[in-house]
Structure 1
Amino acid sequence: MALYATAASVLANVESRRGSIKGLVYASSFQNVKQLYALVCETQRYSAVLDAVIASAGLLRAEKKLRPHLAKVLVYELLLGRGFRGGGGRWKPLLDRHQARLKAELARLKVQRRVSRNEDLLQVGSRPGAASQVPRFVRVNTLKTSSDDAIDYFKRQGFSYQGRASSLEDLRALKGKCFLLDPLLPELLVFPTQTDLHDHPLYQAGHLILQDKASCLPAMLLAPPPGSHVIDACAAPGNKTSHLAAFLKNQGRIFAFDLDAGRLASMATLLARAGVSCCELAQEDFLAVSPSDQRYRQVQYILLDPSCSGSGMPTRQLEEPGTGTPSKARLQALAGFQQRALRHALTFPSLQRLVYSTCSLCQEENEDVVQDALQQNPGTFRLAPVLPSWPHRGLSSFPGAEHCLRASPETTLTGGFFVAVLERVEVPSSVPQAEASAPEISLSAAPRKKRRPRRTVAPRTLPPTEQEGKR
């Protein structure tokens, strides 16, 4: 199967330090990047265990044409993964010949180390900590269906719906085939952490988006009303863009920019599957986009989620163990780009509301970037106070930073994240007063990316897709 060969190639390049898993996966020609990414991450996480089992079973001695990285991927799938439920292609008969020995060596390894679970075989540094307790969040794509219809579908499949959660403890207690409705976002379903829905028909049809709760906050807090013009400045891979389109109900325009052609192509596929028809994609550096361009004169909402260190992502430790804290030089380079991007975004003349977000835990990429932007625009923009009940606030590095939001596995049962909402204090003269009024957002009942300044490509509009499954 192409999946296993591609995964082996990515794994070999990662171990040779030729790039990160995410970058190599997106650079590959494999269509289902999420499936490939998950397989490589998990194979790498169990790398030492797999090496021990393969050596003890004598697999590479018996199959001299089988390359080590491919063997590692195949043995992971056989013993710890999906078990070749998808068929396995020509590799399944080969592994079948050694299946009994491989399983016996895994069992023997558990006995030797006095553990009963596969996860207990991991070295301490590779064991999941608080991040392993983060549940599976699933956003219902309201362009194609409704939360009620999705809940009914899961119930018919034998899942037990537990209603709306009232606390984080409700989410922690999820087990088996139980699921909940998130207490904050009415389109967000919550399943136990190990729930895999990549092959679920609703996901395959674009009715569901697998998206962490913290990643849903930017679009929710921007909340552009139908008919608005919105910029998604650093848009790929596209989950937030599809969320914005759901708020717009496909009425209005989203200008989405990203410089990476591969990520943009994957994003186009994601948006088409999600039924997004109001988005114009452009392979363009956002910093090269002119605020005076007449195409953007009605843009009142901007979502800026720039390239960052990713230090809040649970999978980052799997890609690059020991890189939870990026180097000072890398932080300075990232923060410099982030500051330029945020300053640039705030120059769009009709802008009323902007959400700045990262999946980083570093102050240099978060509070410091926001503080710089506010100092560059004194009296023009302010931090909007949002979600007063959110338990994790911005670091107290400057007055008003408590209006920013932070997220982490420990405090919010999500990935690590940072969000700040900036709103214009004064109305620009080019926009009528009635148009410039920012919408009221009822938050109590609330309903990535490498860039290098180079060539620009004219935007292309995604074709409308069929709106199957609408209620």
Structure 2
Amino acid sequence: MEQSSFVHSVKVPKLYKVASKTLQSIESHEESFKGAIFAAKHPNKKALTALISTSLQRSEEINYLIKKSKILEKEQRIESQLPLVKILITELLRGKLVDNQRQAKPILTVLKYKEAMEKASLKFSRKPSNLEEKDTTIMVEKPRYVRVNTLKMTVDDAVEHLLNEGWIEKPYDTTGELTVTDFSRDDVVDNLLVFAPKQTFYKHPLYLNGTFILQDKASCLAAMALKPRTGRCVLDACAAPGMKTTFLSSLAGTDSRIIAVEKSAKRCNTLKEMLNQYGCEFVEVLNQDFTEVDPLSYEDVEYILVDPSCSGSGMYGRFDVPYQDGSKQDRLHSLSFYQQKVLCHAMKFPNVKRIVYSTCSINSEENEDVVSAALSFAEMCVKCDFDNDRTDGFFIAVIERIRRGG
């Protein structure tokens, strides 16, 4: 008896479903890129990151293809699945969308417009603005930074582990290039290791057990600048996804009281997952807006890290997430207002000795303007950028309380 070739409903691959939800949260500015990737429930973070990055980088082209192909007008059933459509078109542009009948309905629908989109893509690539951008853009690669989680292993033991695997340790040199078998100890951050660009660690045992944390050098400097003493109380005001909180935990030690505050319930769950993954179970987590935390209820707080939501304009290889209504300046104004509010609230804690304010932004509206609005601007600030420091663009200001008189 001949077997029927009828195919029952085929599910959309999990990678595409997760990617579409992640893309939506980033485009709606609900989550930062890093926060959204970490919160995504998918085991292959590398594949997810590559897919989302490409979709955002080529967002203008993807919107152009959607408009020219008229896919949303002709296929009204998928109009409500726009983020998924964008992800599938991204895969089409990457040549990874397989054309066969044993596919989920949304994939088959997008493939119907393959020829129209390929023609539109050629026209898009010939637009003068795109040719000019391609001719003038020069990408210099950033090193891979790996922070050793000293709650799990000492730096010396981690280095010995690498040497036993066949890696070669070289002196730190900002001008030298590391090969795929080389690494160096960073010259500023004691527990940071530097590897060749694009070096992957997603399957490395020390990454899987929480010893290796992939964190940019500039991001590490904020926690270092706070310099929390062991046995004291440290508060991270805008903690999720938790990279800086985990570093503060390593610096302050398990004898310290560490409080991580996060107002979003969703991001708070992400924060708890990261703290558990990296052995920071002793950190207290508050699911609350920091500006509503009563300073008098936390009189033991001496160190506060203020790293609020920002535009992320300093991130290496930054791609601008489009604002549908053209309100980018309004968004900056809104961010700046909240950033100033958070910083001023941190100053109300009665016994706080040191506050570090940081952003991964290069916009003065989010940096110098915020600090100068909160107090007379001091010179204790640091700026990092890729051209000079081979890091993300970053701003860090250190504010210390000086008690005068007797």
- Tell me if both proteins adopt one fold, taking TM over 0.5 as the criterion: yes
For residues 66-105 of structure 1, what are the structure 2 equivalents within 5 Å? 69=86, 71-72=88-89
Deviation of the 1:367 alpha carbon: 1.1
SS in 2 for 1:414: coil
Which residue pairs with 1:446 in the alignment? none
Distance 1:286 1:153, change over 3 A: same
SS in 2 for 1:317: coil
Which residue pairs with 2:112 in the alignment? none
Deviation of the 1:21 alpha carbon: 7.3
Deviation of the 1:27 alpha carbon: 10
Distance 2:405 2:96 in 1: 61
Distance 1:327 1:49, change over 3 A: closer
2:303 is the counterpart of 1:301: yes
Distance 1:20 1:339, change over 3 A: closer
Deviation of the 1:159 alpha carbon: 2.5
Which residue pairs with 1:140 in the alignment? 148
Distance 2:135 2:18 in 1: 25
Which residue pairs with 1:30 in the alignment? 41
Give, as a single letter, the amino acid of the residue that structure 2 aligns with 1:338. Answer: Q
For residues 176-255 of structure 1, what are the structure 2 equivalents within 5 Å? 176-255=180-259
SS in 2 for 1:133: coil
Distance 2:56 2:30 in 1: 12
Give, as a single letter, the amino acid of the residue that structure 1 aligns with 2:300. Answer: Q
Distance 1:405 1:206 in 2: 29
Alignment match of 2:19 (pick from 7, 21, 26): 7
SS in 2 for 1:169: coil
Distance 1:77 1:149 in 2: 41
Which residue pairs with 2:385 in the alignment? 408
Give, as a single letter, the amino acid of the residue that structure 2 aligns with 1:406. Answer: K
Deviation of the 1:266 alpha carbon: 1.2
2:159 is the counterpart of 1:151: yes
Distance 2:61 2:289 in 1: 43
Give, as a single letter, the amino acid of the residue that structure 2 aligns with 1:288. Answer: E
- The answer to whether the 8 Å contact 2:18/2:42 transfers is no
Distance 1:198 1:332 in 2: 38
Higher relative contact order (CA 8 A, sep 6+): 1
For residues 90-129 of structure 1, what are the structure 2 equivalents within 5 Å? 125=133
Deviation of the 1:156 alpha carbon: 3.0
- The answer to whether the 8 Å contact 2:25/2:36 transfers is no
Q: Which runs of 5+ in 2 are unaligned?
A: 1-12, 64-77, 79-83, 108-117
- The answer to whether the 8 Å contact 1:130/1:410 transfers is no
Deviation of the 1:157 alpha carbon: 3.0
For normalisation by structure 2, the TM-score amounts to: 0.74
Distance 2:327 2:164 in 1: 46
Deviation of the 1:315 alpha carbon: 4.9
Distance 2:160 2:19 in 1: 36
Distance 1:411 1:46, change over 3 A: same
SS in 2 for 1:195: coil
Distance 1:126 1:319 in 2: 19
Which residue pairs with 2:115 in the alignment? none
Give, as a single letter, the amino acid of the residue that structure 1 aligns with 2:384. Answer: A
- The answer to whether the 8 Å contact 2:381/2:398 transfers is yes
Distance 1:366 1:348 in 2: 22
Q: Which runs of 5+ in 1 are unaligned?
A: 52-64, 81-89, 96-105, 114-121, 376-397, 430-471
Distance 2:61 2:352 in 1: 53
Deviation of the 1:319 alpha carbon: 3.9
Moved more, 420-429 or 313-322: 313-322
- The answer to whether the 8 Å contact 1:179/1:191 transfers is yes
- The answer to whether the 8 Å contact 1:257/1:281 transfers is yes
Distance 1:349 1:22, change over 3 A: closer
- The answer to whether the 8 Å contact 2:223/2:305 transfers is yes
Alignment match of 1:262 (pick from 244, 263, 266): 266
Which residue pairs with 1:424 in the alignment? 401
- The answer to whether the 8 Å contact 2:15/2:42 transfers is no
- The answer to whether the 8 Å contact 2:315/2:361 transfers is yes
* Corresponding pairs, count: 354
Which residue pairs with 2:313 in the alignment? 311
Which residue pairs with 1:169 in the alignment? 175
Deviation of the 1:268 alpha carbon: 0.8
Distance 2:260 2:25 in 1: 30
Give, as a single letter, the amino acid of the residue that structure 2 aligns with 1:311. Answer: S
Deviation of the 1:206 alpha carbon: 0.6
- The answer to whether the 8 Å contact 1:22/1:37 transfers is no
Distance 2:405 2:44 in 1: 43
Distance 2:250 2:371 in 1: 27
Which residue pairs with 1:440 in the alignment? none
Which residue pairs with 1:61 in the alignment? none
Distance 2:384 2:161 in 1: 31
